Amino acid sequence: MCFFDEARPAINAIEMSESGDFLVAKYNGAADMWYTKPPLSIWCQVLFIKLLGPTELAARLPSAFAALGLVLLLLWFAKKNGAIWWGYFSAMILLTTSGFIGEHVARTADPDTLLCLFTTAYMLLFYQYTESKETKYLFYCGIAIAWAGLTKGVAGFLLLPGILLYAIYYRHLGGMLKKPSTYGAVAVAVLPVLLFYYLREQYNPGYIEAVFENELGGRFSEVIEGHQHPFNYYFKFIWKSHFTFWLAYIPLAIWLAIKSEPAQRRLQFLIFSTVIIYLLLVSSAQTKVFWYTAPVFPLLALSIGYALWELCKKLTDVFIDLYPQRSTRFVFPALFVLALFFFPYKSIVEKINHPKVIYAENTYGPYLKKKHPLAKQIIIPSVGKYNPSVGKYNPSVGKYNGHIDYYCKALKSKGFNISQKYSHELHVNDTLLICEQPNYDDVSRIFILDVLERQNSCTLFLVVDKREEFK
């Protein structure tokens, strides 16, 4: 895919749609023991691949619909507990949040947007249950927890400690433990996830061990794939780039919550206890990646949205007192919204259209999608580790190229024959697509290349001959 990490689940989805095996995700025909997340997001991708074919759109639509679902969830919750305009403000904050609209979350084929939808849902449904005492919300909460777990495994449960603290602090827990419905909801939340892990282990022995290594022991106790950062990594990311425009309003949100009715105070306590405990948990892990901040943004958007809605109401009342004409009643709110959201919206659009960092590995997709006639049958060289003492490559320690594997599979149905080979497997007259400098250095050291076409950082080469020392 255009973005490096989203290719892995997309490949799982393509192979799942072809094989009909909806339990064991596969990569290049073998059970995937590296991407060990449960398959709910992959199932969603399979659905769209069946409808639209193996396209980027099909792979990314689950994220897009999950983002839409989050917006609708915020609107529903706000209308249920205050006013729809609270929901509008919250949704606009979320949609202008850099950490949510961008790579690895709402605009890519990763499972994190779906995770955000379900984690936000189960927190808000639990609050709704404690306020209304309607059992249906507790069972809906259980369903959302199960879906969160089936989306991203352990990560789906990381908001629960904050919810538990809220239940203890407001003395809900004792009463809940006495009700049979609580245990029914727990069963609804846990059993589907346990059933999946059990069945996957039966058909794919060693899977649970791989899950522990990848999601628990690995990521929490040691650094994986070089993602080593200090404890305050997530807090700095939120401050400097992911939530920059809206952080300044958090004190206002807290102050207005204190001054508000008890129900709003309880909600704000739930939001901030959940956010803080979640960030402390993920910060304690040795492996840190920026998209782990994503689940906090819908919650913070809801909190700040309430503050801005209240501020807008109060300032509008002052404006109407000064200018009581009916025609001016909507002027100030419109100006308030425009002033508030113009620069965040402008910043998001610029970030999407003009990213600051363009990784070379992400440029294969734009070239291949143009379906140039010269690219109908090409080879993309992969870099292995060369051992000069024996004059051979070791492909087992080569670079992971999931983004290329995706296009090899996705464009096959359109008549493209795209493959990956190591340098020692290439031959004279092969047509090569190279977008990364290390790949070019590796190939050009062995072969004489002729340029067929250049496009941005990608070049199409013809292998003319082997260099004398390698003949």
Category of 31 on φ-ψ map: left (φ > 0), alpha (ψ -120 to 50) or beta? beta
Say what the pLDDT of residue 97 is. Answer: 94
Residues 184 and 213: their CA atoms lie apart, in Å, by 31
Say what the pLDDT of residue 395 is. Answer: 41
- Answer yes or no: pTM beyond 0.95: no
Residues 70 and 91: their CA atoms lie apart, in Å, by 8
What's the token pair of residue 74? 């915020």
What's the token pair of residue 59? 């792979």
Instruction: Annotate 45-73 with b (16+ C-beta within 10 A) or e (fewer).
Output: bbebbeeeebbbebbbbbbeebbebbbeb
Q: Which residues of the chain have pLDDT under 70?
A: 1-4, 216-229, 326-328, 356-358, 371-376, 383-400
Query: β-strand 377-382 against 417-422: which pairing, if any?
Result: parallel
Helix 7-19 vs helix 56-81: crossing angle, to nearest 10: 110
Q: Where are the domains of the chain?
A: 7-353, 360-470
Determine the residue type at 433: L
Contact predicate 404/442, CB 8 Å = no
> SS3 for 33-69, per residue?
CCCCCCCHHHHHHHHHHHHHCCCHHHHHHHHHHHHHH
Contact predicate 83/232, CB 8 Å = no
Q: What stretches of 308-389 adopt beta strand conformation (E)? A: 377-382, 385-387
Say what the pLDDT of residue 374 is. Answer: 64
Closest CA to 196 of 48, 49, 22: 22
Q: How far apart are the first and last CA of the chain?
A: 36
Say what the pLDDT of residue 24 is. Answer: 95
In the sheet that holds 377-382, the strands lie side by side as 417-422, 377-382, 431-434, 458-466, 447-455
Residues 161 and 273: their CA atoms lie apart, in Å, by 9
31-62 pLDDT per residue, tens = 998 889 999 999 999 999 999 999 889 999 99
Residues 157 and 277: their CA atoms lie apart, in Å, by 12
Phi, psi of 456 (to 5 degrees): 55, -125
Say what the pLDDT of residue 244 is. Answer: 86
Q: What DSSP string describes 168-217?
A: HHTT-HHHHHT-HHHHHHHHHHHHHHHHHHHHHHHHSTTHHHHHIIIIII
Q: Is 348 in a helix, a strand, or coil? A: helix
Contact predicate 242/251, CB 8 Å = no
Q: What DSSP string describes 99-122?
A: TTSSTTTTTSSSTHHHHHHHHHHH
